[in-house]
Amino acid sequence: MPKDHETDAERILLFLAENRDQAFEAIEIADNTDLDENSVRPVLDRLRSSGLVRQEESTWRIGTLERVRDAFAFHSTVQSLNERVGYEDREEWLAAAAESDTDDE
CATH of the domain at 41: 1.10.10.10
In a domain, residue 1? The reply is no
Per-residue pLDDT of the chain (105 residues; tens, 9 = 90+): 445 557 899 899 999 999 999 999 999 999 999 999 999 999 999 999 999 999 999 999 998 877 777 776 766 677 777 778 877 777 887 888 888 777 665
In a domain, residue 42? The reply is yes
In a domain, residue 94? The reply is yes
Q: How far apart are CA 9 and CA 71, in angstroms?
A: 11
**Beta bridge mates, 60:** 24, 55
Number of domains in the chain: 1
Domain residues for 56? 8-103
**Residue 52, Cβ density class (10 Å: 0-12 exposed, 13-18 middle, ≥19 buried):** buried
Q: How far apart are CA 33 and CA 17, in angstroms?
A: 13
9 CB contacts (<8 Å, ≥6 apart)? 43, 46, 47
Q: What is the reported pTM?
A: 0.67
In a domain, residue 90? The reply is yes
Spatial contact of 59 and 25, defined as CB atoms under 8 Å apart: yes
Q: What pLDDT is stored for residue 5 in this prediction?
A: 55
